Structure 1
Amino acid sequence: MNLPHRNHQFLPELVCLLSSVCHGLVTLARVGDIVILDCRFPTGPSPGLIVEWSLRQPLRVVYSYYSGSAQAASQHPQFRDRATVDQSRLALGEAALRLSDVTPQDQGLYRCFIRLALAKHETWQRLEVAGPYSEPQVTCFMLDLRHEDLTVNMSCRSEGGFPRAEARWRWDNGSWYRGRSQKLWSQAPDGSFDLQSLVEIPGGQASQLRCVVINGRLNQTLTSPEMCRRDPIIDSDSWPSNATTCLGNCQPQRGSEQVARIRLGFIGSAVVLSLSIALLLYFQTRCRYPRSEQRRQPRGEGPPTDRQ
């Protein structure tokens, strides 16, 4: 199904029909839909009629017709069994291309070339493809939300859309988050994009922030249904191994227990270190001033001698 597009206006179509070369037509199609790219030419006797649809950049033959039949051998594998022209309409001067199961790779500039016995005609059209993104899901990784000075890592993921969408963060009061964020895109073999947006905020604010994904080509705006939820798709290497996940409104979970263990560990280490220093000082003092076990001899008296 062809979708309306702001550049698909009546005047360029009229100019196209009245001239031998046409530029500027834009057609928008959804991923998975069927799209029709129009191409018309003057009617008349055409024993040597040649019709060729091609995609530019990269150059690929989409459909080829000559010698009275379609030439499947010259068709690029990308369009095999998907691109056709109704041969019964050629005598009426119509060579519209029917492209089924549209994919992101189909986007680009298309050329319709017609060669008649005494003339030639070509038309240029641009096909833009759009695919909806999945509902964004938010995941939180934190230690303890009761301590507002601790950082919370928030991740938003939305998948399977085209083209690249914009991801933003919005507070519950409707204002946009103005802090720093990191955006990551990955492209699947079919050309669609997966989007991930990362932010770091104080723990006390995590329950007030939602993720918004905007696909302008489809006028699609999606808001995460929850602030935070568990998302096993997130790569665990992206966050600390001791991070925990919050659900719903991001209430504290096991993070407080981990903080308590860390504090006890620091206190225990400090006590052991203090005792070790005290013992070291004590033994150093004993070695410097040893206690005599024998009484000192009176001055002037020598050691006793045996009398004969």
Structure 2
Amino acid sequence: MFLLATVCFVLRFTGSSLAAFEVSVPQRRVLAVRGRPVVLGCSYAPSLGNSLDGLVVTWQTAEDNLVLHSFYYGQDQLALQNARYRNRTSMSQPLLGAGNASLRLDRVGPQDSGRYLCSVDSLLGNGKAEVQLEYAAFYTEPKLNIQVHPSNISLQYQSEGYPAPQVQWTDSAGRNLTAREELSGPGEDGLLSLRTSVTLKDPGPGVNLSFTLRNAALGQVLERPVSLRLASDDIGHCTDCTRVTIPLISFLCLLLLLLCLGLAAFAYFRRKRNGMPTACQNGSGKLPPHDPGEGGDGTETVDQRQA
């Protein structure tokens, strides 16, 4: 009877100890933002005295068991670390002793999105917990490009970010417009490249549109109104496209100046070739009066008048 009671006590004690050991994550879903490090949280019940003896912590991907980081024998063990995570992970030993097995991951990109497992094995027991990592990047300021044709107008916005955004074009009455959308990437910078455009047929003298981009992952909303005024000769003017009209005006002014200089130079050399003094040559600032001679062509040179 005594032996049976002892066995029952041992089993109950062992079961309660194992049940008390738990590995947990504070957030099951973690969002990583481009350009910032991310911390994958993980905690467990520490041993007495916060000792690291017998503690083994491993972070790995849930899908294919790639090792991000390992800790045992009281130090980091990176021999089995996958190459894609090399020099990008770190854990704090003081925090490990206190039951914090969180992992810091630097230079996060879209390829890091996925499920990760935090596995802990200690003298008190073992366990694991899973965390979902998602990646996002704020979209850049949209760049507007406008093309005006005799029968239609095309407006295009370009921007970069992550993940795929929600794009909406509306007219002045709030009605949705049919838009074309191109999404490519991500590139090495971890960004998707977005091109979205609308084409308006017979737009009339004035057009008012609104472009809206939403990045739901980051709660980012970019809304840009577009106002167009068209002249009768189908030359468009847009409040957002002064970068197009100003260089055009500057080019026309420069072309006109060069034309005037060319005409002045042509007149100067023509007079010089015909032997006629210029205003600078006679010192008076004025050309001498022209006195037709008796020649058949009515032309008299300077030498003939002096004779």
The normalised TM-score by structure 2 is 0.60
Question: Cα distance, 1:53 vs. partner?
Answer: 0.7
SS of residue in 2 equivalent to 1:105? helix
Cα distance, 1:162 vs. partner? 1.1
Structure 1: runs of 5+ lacking an equivalent: 1-16, 145-149, 229-243, 255-308
The answer for the alignment partner of 1:294 in structure 2 is none
Report Cα offsets for 1:81-118 as digits up to 9, x if no partner: 22111012222221111223332222221110011246
Q: Quickly say closer, same or farther: Cα 1:22–1:203, change in 2 above 3 A.
A: farther
Aligned residues, how many?
215
State the Cα deviation string for residues 143-195 of structure 1 (Å, max 9, x = none): 22xxxxx2323222111x1111111112245x1424x2221111113432111
Equivalence for 1:194: 193
SS of structure 1 residue aligned to 2:138: coil
Match of 1:47 among 43, 48, 53: 53
d(CA) in 2 for partners of 1:192 and 1:18? 44
Q: TM-score, normalised by structure 1?
A: 0.60
Partner of 1:183: 181
Instruction: Show the counterpart of 1:78.
Output: 84
Q: What is the aligned partner in structure 1 of residue 30 from structure 2?
A: 27
**Residues of 2 paired with 1:166 and 1:18: CA distance?**
46
- Structure-to-structure mapping, 1:1-308, within 5 angstroms: 20=22, 22=24, 25-44=28-47, 47-117=53-123, 119-144=125-150, 150-159=151-160, 161-173=161-173, 175-178=174-177, 180-187=178-185, 188-204=187-203, 207-224=207-224, 226=226, 248-249=238-239
Aligned-partner SS, 1:208:
strand
RMSD: 3.2
Q: Secondary structure at the match of 2:207?
A: helix
Q: Greater CA deviation, 41-50 or 79-88?
A: 41-50
Give the CA deviation at 1:202: 1.6
Whether the 8 Å CA contact 2:209–2:226 is kept in 1: the answer is no
Structure 2: where are the runs of 5+ without partners? Answer: 1-18, 229-233, 249-307
Deviation of residue 56 (structure 1)? 3.0
Distance 1:247 1:102, change over 3 A: farther
Q: Are residues 204 and 33 of structure 1, via their aligned partners in 2, closer, same or farther at CA, if it must alter by over 3 Å?
A: same
Q: Secondary structure at the match of 2:222?
A: strand
Q: Deviation per CA, 1:65-85: give whole Å up to 9, x if none.
A: 122221223222332222111
Q: Distance in 2 between matches of 1:105 and 1:18?
A: 36
Q: Distance in 2 between matches of 1:192 and 1:115?
A: 38
Q: Could you say if the C-alpha distance between residues 219 and 118 of structure 1 is closer, same or farther in structure 2, counting changes exceeding 3 Å?
A: closer
- Measured in 1, the distance between the counterparts of 2:72 and 2:236 equals 64
State the identity %.
27
Offset of residue 222 of structure 1: 0.7
In 1, are the aligned partners of 2:30 and 2:131 still within 8 Å (CA)? yes
Amino acid at match of 1:186: S
